[in-house]
Chain A
């Protein structure tokens, strides 16, 4: 059996290698037109994406204010960043944000999507309502929520809490509540997008499986547990890593809501990168900012690779 199969891949390999080796065969095979079509994209990506990234990597080994000539400082920027006590505060805060976001932000859209897929009427309306926060520009959303989070007893949320005899809560003005408050808004703002992804994935679940489950008199919860969730496994794994990567780079909420305060309780890694580069008006530590960016990119890259390796067997149903 094995002897019969072996020659086939060898032939294919030789043919592919042969094709690659001759430029003429590459041109004949339509390679030139592929390149012509690809060229604008390569140029645009090269100029606006890869060249700046390369430049940023270079800058992480330099000391520069971007006005006077840069000097190479080796690994000094990396050492400076690692020696900064605020880095560990930022790492801790980012992990805290990520953990809270996973706790609230990950199950909420899934639950919403599953429930919405069960309703027969006005499904489109529910989808639109769920997606609405995503359409609102993030800065507008933050301004709106700042208004909700007003810490005085007359603030919107505090007034509502007052009706049931709770509060007032300091929301953004207290180190303990600031981060959960940011997560709440971030979940509200992003959940709609994920709901749409889950809804799309749910349409792919075979109705036969549900019918079979109904014949077996399975309850709605058993249907969700034994049919829906296993069928969504692949998409759930993807959204999980996207959630981790996304929350590790949280910037907008702490930047606009609290500026990293109170007392650095919401300073995240990306906010720290921004502060290195831009908080000092006299030309920031661009080297340190890019060094930390690169470290974060490497960590997230490794984490993603590790995650996909570990979950390879789970994702194939």
Chain B
């Protein structure tokens, strides 16, 4: 009872504090002097990386003497973000995944900075595939795309070699992937292929595989969204996973992986292959001590279907809904300086790469362009001398990443639909007699009820 009362009290306190803090931030006027701007900094950075960040802050403050930048540790996770948003404890500038952009804008949970963004010199040059994520219904850009990715198949080159596979020729089809996974599991005793299943990531990766097989999780017809989970493609994906788990026994023994734990297990050499964002190398190295020699990455195999595509996503920079006008202006200046200018301006790109490389953080991890491909290629050339990632081991991915059709994530109630799919994939991997047809039928009905409600 005590715990319950405490949780009730905490929820209420959160609400009360939010209510109290509602009005106080908005009365700052344009001529109220220096502006204090809280900006997001990745948590868990080593000393060098923090110094590099502080150096960038100093450079910004020198160029903008009326803005005092205060770094605040922040990392988006589905479960903590809600509490931070509700409790108004987010920094003034924070990042969210593409999936959250539209919802935050619709519910006015972030500031409308569209006027300030449209004044940026490169405002009209954002790639068409990334622009939508940060736009309101009327086309105004409230949230700024700062990074984009396509899903990739990460693999352990060392385990490939131990299993007698050629690490320079990773699987290009799902049949090859299945047999490689079995070979790794049989030879090394490690998981040949592992799948994310927890904290909504089960749905995220299942949707990725569904796309790769030519399916879609949702269909939009005007305002009406239809769930498309109970489909032949999704069934085929789950059947494949079921066979790999129960017939081949090639998926190891952990079926409750979330993003952090799968990265940890992969970096520790426990997993042969897994699917996740193409830019994962950075966190694998800086947060999980991956040995660069182990690392290989390739594109997610696509089925021979006209609709097969690779799921793409990315990161948006947004500004707190409580920010005053001067803070909003300062925030957009910071977004321009810290996240975007380095993608379009040689001097900024070099300065950024130099400071990051000095702190031994990865420079040159493959990404999808936020602007056009030509600008992206140009920016790679600017920083070429600072690149410190094993590019040769990434060629299976970088050679083909631009040839794959990129498909955006489901746009309605994305995280909630992913959450509905988590137990589906968990059931298939943990219950030998799981009834795929029944699981998908129920998940589809649940998702449809959700889409109708929202």
Contacts and interface: CB of A to CB of B under 8 A. Distances in A.
A263 B7 contact: no
B101 to A, nearest CB: 10
Given A52-B10, A56-B8, A283 B107 contact: yes
A282 B256 contact: no
Interface string B2-27: 01110111111111101000000000
B4 A296 contact: yes
Nearest to B106: A282
B256 A262 contact: yes
Contacts of B109: 65, 67-68, 282-283
Interface string A277-313: 1111111101001100110110011001000000000
B429 to A, nearest CB: 7
A293 B108 CA distance: 28
Contacts of B9: 48-49, 52-53, 56
Contacts of B96: 281
A314 interface: no
B5 A53 contact: yes
A150 to B, nearest CB: 7
B200 interface: yes
- The range of chain A's interface size is 35 or more
Contacts of A297: 1, 4-5, 8
Contacts of A263: 423, 426-427, 430-431, 434
A262 B12 contact: no
Interface in B188-216: 197-200
Contacts of B86: 65-67, 283, 286
A304 B318 CA distance: 48
Nearest to A153: B253
Contact of A281 (B88, B108, B415, B446): B415
B82 A67 contact: no
B100 A281 contact: yes
B258 interface: yes
A191 interface: no
B452 to A, nearest CB: 13
A53 B2 CA distance: 12
Interface in A77-92: 85
A138 to B, nearest CB: 12
Contacts of B377: none
B255 interface: yes
A170 B430 CA distance: 9
Nearest to B1: A245
A101 to B, nearest CB: 15
A246 B4 CA distance: 9
B247 interface: no
Nearest to B446: A85
A262 B83 contact: no
Given A52-B16, A151-B253, A175-B431, A282 B82 contact: yes
A278 B11 CA distance: 11
Nearest to A269: B4
A142 interface: no
A148 B242 CA distance: 26
Which of B10, B430, B431 has the most A CB atoms < 10 Å from its CB? Answer: B430
B305 interface: no
Given A261-B423, A263-B426, A300 B4 contact: yes
Contact of A52 (B11, B83, B200): B11
A173 B252 CA distance: 11
A261 B426 contact: yes
A262 B14 contact: no
Interface in A47-63: 48-49, 51-56, 59
Contacts of B419: 275, 279-280
A259 interface: yes
Nearest to A50: B9
A296 B431 CA distance: 31
A293 B14 contact: no
B129 to A, nearest CB: 22
A66 B14 contact: yes
B422 interface: yes
B78 interface: yes
29 contacts: A49-B5, A51-B12, A52-B15, A53-B5, A56-B8, A56-B9, A56-B15, A65-B85, A67-B18, A85-B446, A151-B254, A245-B1, A259-B258, A261-B198, A262-B197, A262-B427, A270-B7, A278-B79, A279-B78, A281-B78, A282-B82, A282-B100, A282-B109, A283-B86, A286-B11, A289-B11, A293-B8, A297-B8, A300-B1
Given A67-B86, A290-B12, 11 more contacts: A56-B8, A65-B107, A66-B87, A67-B18, A68-B108, A68-B109, A259-B199, A279-B419, A281-B78, A290-B11, A294-B8
